[in-house]
Every structure is written in structure tokens, then in C-alpha cells.
Amino acid sequence: MITKLETSEDQDFWDVLDSLQGRLGALQAEDSYHDLLHEIPLPVWIEDWSAVKARLQTLDIPDPEAFEGWLNARPDLLLELYHSMPVIDTNAAAVTFYGLQEREQLIDNVMAEPPAGSLEACSRLIGALLSGTWGLDWVLPAPLGPNGRERWMRAFCYVPPASRDTWNRVVYITQDVTRQKHAEDALAQAKSEADAANRSKSEFLANVSHELRTPLNAIAGYSDLLLEEKFGDLGHEAYRDYARVIRDSGEHLLDLINDLLDLSRVQSGMASLRLDLVDMHSVIDSALRLVEDRAQRGGLKISVVKATENIEIMADERKLRQILINLLVNAVKFTPNGGEIKITCGIDVSGGLLLEVADTGIGMTVNEVEIALERFGRVDKASSRSIDGAGLGLPLTKAMVELHGGTLQLRSRSGEGTTAIVMLPADCSDALRHINAT
């Protein structure tokens, strides 16, 4: 693939080439020119493309952007132009790289039979020169090495400033990148296998979660019937206690399964957003109703600060409510009796949503924050009220925030509380379009 070199490191490379070309030009009439050329450890050769430019001037060629396809559709002309690029000089490293003995052998071989990828590179390079791009590089197969070993090389093409009007000097430098190419291929293969394994795991979790939810719903439903004694007295009080334990355990397990299902959907790319104009005041009120009983039992005070009377955002209301509920449940869980939880909601300077849930709880260290954001990451604190759950709340919250195109940050210090900061764009339609595109 041919690309224009734009990095600072590559720019340094071209600056060196400029300097080298100037030295070569100054020394060309002297014997020391060839000494310098042959001392360069990388294969180098120089071609004269002036005949190519002259031939193009006789043709009605398209704009540079369309030139490559135009020339590839004319293979006879492409081959003609290729043979109009004579190699006028090369060095010992190039002769060795191609497994030859004499410099003339390399020149004859290259010109007689175009190496693999040379014609394709030729059309792209000519198109680049027509557009005023003077430095290009690409990776292509190299001639087989000893014992028929596969090799890859990176080829640099460069036109010195003094030759950009005439194209009479085009410098090539090649570098053996076989090891790098194999390492990149191995890395890409490993990433592909890891992605496939992750998709399989997420699909497995989704399937298992679906299968488990049906019997758990039945357990919760029938245990409720027993507690309400719809069809008669249970008799012994212990039976009511047992039914209550069955119901609570079933509901807890169902919550865990639902979290697993939601998380697997997000990670497998199966999650979707149902966007609507959401009133944040309504979202906050409904989330508070679900956690206020537990907060009261723990002697906690919850306050709400709303920056404006009307805060609206284009988002998925159910997921946005779940995000806030998860953060509140976490704050309640890790805030000792008598503590405070503060919800702040407003609009940032970009028009996006800024939602904060701050508590005066036991807090976390930097390492514990990292653990808390991992799947199944549990930060066990001896001073916390209870450590129920499997460590899915915060990872799921983070996933749902990112699904909206937003970010979740946790600021915490051990013993001083935690602040969860959610930032969402004013309109999550862009995130939805990205999801649909992928």
C-alpha cells in the first residue's frame, strides 16, 4: 500500500534524503560519488523518469485523482511507461538484496520483467507525482530470499527538489521488513481470534441469561403468591420466612442475570438506543423513588441540585434511568449511616448533559477505582454496609454511557467519598448512527 509520509520521523527521513541527494549531486562527477552510494547499507537505485513525463504530455490524461484507474485500464501503456524508467545507478546493497552478483544484472532483471507489484506501484507513483506528492512509501512482496524464504520490503520513492520539474531523478530505497510484517500479521490474527472469542462469550452469556430468566420469574412469582397466601394460610411462620428468602434470593439472582444480559448485549454489539426527548427531572424523580427506601433505612440524606428548571436531552430514557439508578445504588451501598448523597444535574458549555452523583462514603483508592470499573470487579470494604452483587453495576453503567457516546468518570479518595460524573452529548443520534453503521 502506498502512503504519503507525514510523521515527524518520516519527515526526518526525507530531510536526510534531501541532504544525501545534494551530496550525491555534488560528487557525481567524482569517483567518491560511487564510494558514497555503495557505502549506504540499504538498497538504493536511481531512475530517470523524464521520458515518462514527456510521453504523458502527448496524452489526454484525466485529473490526478482519476489517473491511477485510467492508467490501470490501459495495460499496454502502463508497460510502455514502466520500460521508459531506466535505472541509471544502484548500489552494492541492492545487488545483494536481489541475490545477484553484478550491478548490470539487477538493472537488466528489473527492466526486463517487472517484479510483483511494480506495475501497480508505477501507476500510483505517476499519479502521485502528477498531484505534486514527492515522497511515498509502500510495503510489497520482495524477491524470495535464501532457500525460497518469503520476504517483504518497504520501498521508499523520492523525487529530489532539483528534479521535480523534469522527473529526471527518482530515488528508491528499500528495507527488509519481513520480521515486522510477520509480527503484524501474527498480531492481527491474535486480535481476530480474541475478538471472536469475546463475541462467543458474549453470545453464550446472552443465551444462558435468557434461559435462566424464565424459571427465575416463576420462582419470584410463586413465592409472592405464597407470601400473600392467596389460596390459604401457610400455617407455620417459618414457611413465610422461607418464602420470603426464596423471593428475595430469586429477585437478586434475576437482577444479576439482567445485568449480565444487558452487558453481553452491549459488548456483542446487539444493544440499541431508543432515542427520545428525555426530561431529566422526571428521570431523577423516578430513580429516587426506587432507592429512597433503602437510603432511609441507612439513615442517608439525598439532595438534588438542578441547574435549570428545564433539562432535556435526546437519549434512551430507560437506559438513562438505569445509569442513574446504578450510581445511586452504589452510593447508598458504600455510604455509612448518617452520610449524604448529592445529585447534580445541568448542561455543560457544549450543550451536553452533566450528571454527578457524589457521596460521603468510604471512597476508593486509584487502584480500587480501576477494579470497580472492571467486569466482576468487587472492591471489598470491611466498613461498607453490605457487599452484595457481582461487580457488574459500574461496568454496565459505563457501557451504557459509552453507548450514548458519553463518558463516565469516577473521582474518589479513600475515606472521603466518591463522585461519579456522567457526560453525554446533547443529541445521542451520532452514537446511534455509529452503532447502526457497525
Domain extents in the chain: 2-176, 194-267, 275-437
pLDDT at 379: 57
Angle at alpha carbon of residue 191, lines to 186 and 192, rounded to 5°: 95
Reported as a pLDDT band with limits 50, 70 and 90, residue 418 is very high
**Higher per-residue confidence, 392 vs 366:** 366
Reported as a pLDDT band with limits 50, 70 and 90, residue 382 is very low
pLDDT at 23: 54
Q: What does 230-276 look like in DSSP terms, one character per residue?
A: TTS---SHHHHHHHHHHHHHHHHHHHHHHHHHHHHHHHTT-----EE
Full strand arrangement of the beta sheet holding 135-142: 2-4, 135-142, 151-158, 170-176, 44-47, 87-90
* 19 three-class SS: helix
Asked which of 138-147, 177-186, 276-285 is least confident by mean pLDDT, the reply is: 138-147
Inform me whether the pLDDT recorded for 55 exceeds 90: yes
Inform me whether the pLDDT recorded for 312 exceeds 60: yes
Inform me whether the pLDDT recorded for 13 exceeds 60: no
368 burial level (CB within 10 Å; 0-12, 13-18, 19+): buried
Output the nine-digit C-alpha cell for 137: 512509501
pLDDT at 387: 47
Reported as a pLDDT band with limits 50, 70 and 90, residue 359 is very high
Q: In terms of DSSP H, where are the helices of 334-428?
A: 366-372, 393-403
pLDDT at 433: 47
**Higher per-residue confidence, 69 vs 268:** 69
pTM as predicted:
0.48
CB neighbours of residue 5 within 10 Å: 15
pLDDT at 58: 92
219-255 burial: b if 16+ Cβ within 10 Å, else e: bbeebbebbeeeeeeeeeeeeeeebeebbeebbeebb
* 153 three-class SS: strand
* 34 three-class SS: helix
pLDDT at 24: 53
Question: 124: number of CA atoms within 13 Å, CB side?
Answer: 14
pLDDT at 431: 53
- How many helices (H) and strands (E) the chain has is answered by 15, 13
Q: Which CATH superfamily is domain 275-437 in?
A: Histidine kinase-like ATPase, C-terminal domain (3.30.565.10)
Asked which of 34-48, 97-111, 267-281, 368-382 is least confident by mean pLDDT, the reply is: 368-382
Distance CA 141, CA 182 (A): 12
pLDDT digits (tens, 9 = 90+) for 155-166: 888 888 889 999
% of the chain exceeding 90 in pLDDT: 12
Q: Which residues pair with 277 in a beta bridge?
A: 314
Angle at alpha carbon of residue 432, lines to 428 and 433, rounded to 5°: 115
Distance CA 244, CA 414 (A): 36
Q: Which residues pair with 172 in a beta bridge?
A: 45, 157
CATH top-level class for 2-176? alpha beta
Reported as a pLDDT band with limits 50, 70 and 90, residue 306 is confident
Reported as a pLDDT band with limits 50, 70 and 90, residue 435 is very low
pLDDT at 10: 53
